[in-house]
């Protein structure tokens, strides 16, 4: 009789323990991108994903952020390695690709198609996506810039994605935040990018896991 009486309590305790463990599991986010997130010419830990994870944890979010940035990658390259770059355990993806397409003058239509395919394949896997926008360099001309710059807001609207309009906002055209090549962020530039993108990333996280912490909650 005692076993019958206590069994439901034991099972309830186990269920609560399992729910607690699930709630305490860090949100696994993959940043899929190019050299702007890979940490080009930066010391270990100075890359955007590492700094973003630190900032989010300081703000009270339990996250684990993986760096899936590959220097030189285009949208085509990101699509080709999507399946092995984003494991099934991922809870979300921050998608940052397209800068190299613009630098090489590749077709904006093809870049849009590649990004669309990445988004759709992640949606098929039930992995939410946040899109980091990019802008074409001025030397590509007004017509090219108009076509390329429209890619990100159009995709965000089509798929209902969280969008940060320009990933390099506050760093582009600011030499003090760039490496000598005038294109990539230095360590201080990464700090600026993290600070600027943090509110948008926090909102994205809360849309995935509403019970997430954070000082702004």
More confident residue, 109 or 211: 109
At 62-118, the pLDDT tens digits run 999 999 999 999 999 999 999 999 999 999 999 999 999 999 999 999 999 999 999
Element (H, E) at 13: helix 2-24
> What are the catalytic residues?
35, 181, 184
DSSP string, 51-93: HHHHHHHHTT--EEEEEEE-TT--HHHHHHTHHHHS-TT-SEE
At 146-176, the pLDDT tens digits run 999 999 999 999 999 999 999 999 999 999 9
In this prediction, residue 206 has a pLDDT band, given cuts at 50, 70 and 90, of very high
In this prediction, residue 210 has a pLDDT band, given cuts at 50, 70 and 90, of confident
Residue 27, strand partner residues: 63
Is pLDDT of 209 > 90? no
Chain-centroid distance, C-alpha 10: 41
Please state the pTM of the whole predicted model. 0.87
Question: What's the Cα-to-Cα distance from 121 to each of 56, 92, 93, rounded to whole Å?
Answer: 27, 13, 12
Question: What's the Cα-to-Cα distance from 55 to each of 80, 92, 166, 208, 211, rounded to whole Å?
Answer: 30, 17, 20, 18, 18
At 7-64, the pLDDT tens digits run 444 434 434 444 444 456 899 999 999 999 999 999 999 999 999 999 999 999 999 9
In this prediction, residue 1 has a pLDDT band, given cuts at 50, 70 and 90, of very low
Residue-level pLDDT at 215: 59
**Cα distance between residue 2 and residue 68, in whole Å:** 54
Q: What's the chain's length in residues?
A: 217
Residue-level pLDDT at 211: 73
Q: Cβ atoms within 10 A of the Cβ of 163, count?
A: 17
**Cα distance between residue 12 and residue 104, in whole Å:** 59
**Cα distance between residue 168 and residue 177, in whole Å:** 10
The bridge status of strand 63-69 relative to strand 27-33 is parallel
- Is residue 178 within 8 A of residue 186, CB to CB? The reply is yes
């Amino acid at each position: 009789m005692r076993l019958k009486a206590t069994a439901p309590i034991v099972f309830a305790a186990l269920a609560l323990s399992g729910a607690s463990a699930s709630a305490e599991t860090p949100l696994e986010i993959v940043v899929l991108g190019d050299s702007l997130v890979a940490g080009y010419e930066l010391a270990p830990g100075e890359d955007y994903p590492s700094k973003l994870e630190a900032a989010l944890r300081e703000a009270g979010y339990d996250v684990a952020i993986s760096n899936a940035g590959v220097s030189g990658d285009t949208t085509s390259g990101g699509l080709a390695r999507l399946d092995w770059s984003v494991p099934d355990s991922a809870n979300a993806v921050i998608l940052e690709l397209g800068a190299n397409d613009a630098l090489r003058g590749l077709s904006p239509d093809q870049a849009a198609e590649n990004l669309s395919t990445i988004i759709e394949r992640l949606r098929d896997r039930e992995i939410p996506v946040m899109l980091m926008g990019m802008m074409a360099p001025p030397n590509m001309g007004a017509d090219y810039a108009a076509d390329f710059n429209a890619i990100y807001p159009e995709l965000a609207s089509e798929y209902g994605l969280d969008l940060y309009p320009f990933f390099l906002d506050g760093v582009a055209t600011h030499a003090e935040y760039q490496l000598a090549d005038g294109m990539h962020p230095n360590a201080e530039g990464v700090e600026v990018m993290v600070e600027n993108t943090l509110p948008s990333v926090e909102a994205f996280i809360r849309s995935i896991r509403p019970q997430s912490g954070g000082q702004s909650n």
